[in-house]
Amino acid sequence: MSNNNGFVPTLKKTIDDLGITANALAVQARVRPLTIYDLCKGKSRQISLATLNDVILALNYFSQKKGVKKKHSVSDILEHVEAVE
């Protein structure tokens, strides 16, 4: 399911894989919980680079805390998918 401009949300899977809640991520990233919920559902119409950075840093924090050796990136939040015609 593609969102605006061909973007597909991947944050929900990332959160589930880490075993954390959207609210915990929002608190750690210091963003509104609604921002995280909208990103998970693909409802975000725009997102700032600063917010992306904060979410990635928070994901990395939880990964390190859980002993997961992964550095997260934008693709753990959303991906661009070419439209099929």
**Predicted pLDDT of residue 41:** 95
Task: Show the domain range for 48.
Answer: 4-80
**Predicted pLDDT of residue 79:** 95
**Predicted pLDDT of residue 83:** 75
CATH number where 39 lies: 1.10.260.40
| Residue 11 confidence (pLDDT) above 80 | yes
Residue 10 in any domain: the answer is: yes
Q: What are the pLDDT digits (tens) for 27-77? A: 999 999 999 999 999 999 899 999 999 999 999 999 999 999 999 999 999
Residue 14 in any domain: the answer is: yes
* Whole-structure pTM value: 0.90
User: In total, how many domains does the chain have?
Assistant: 1
**Predicted pLDDT of residue 3:** 46
Distance (Å) of CA 82 to CA 8, 13, 38, 40, 71:
10, 20, 22, 20, 25
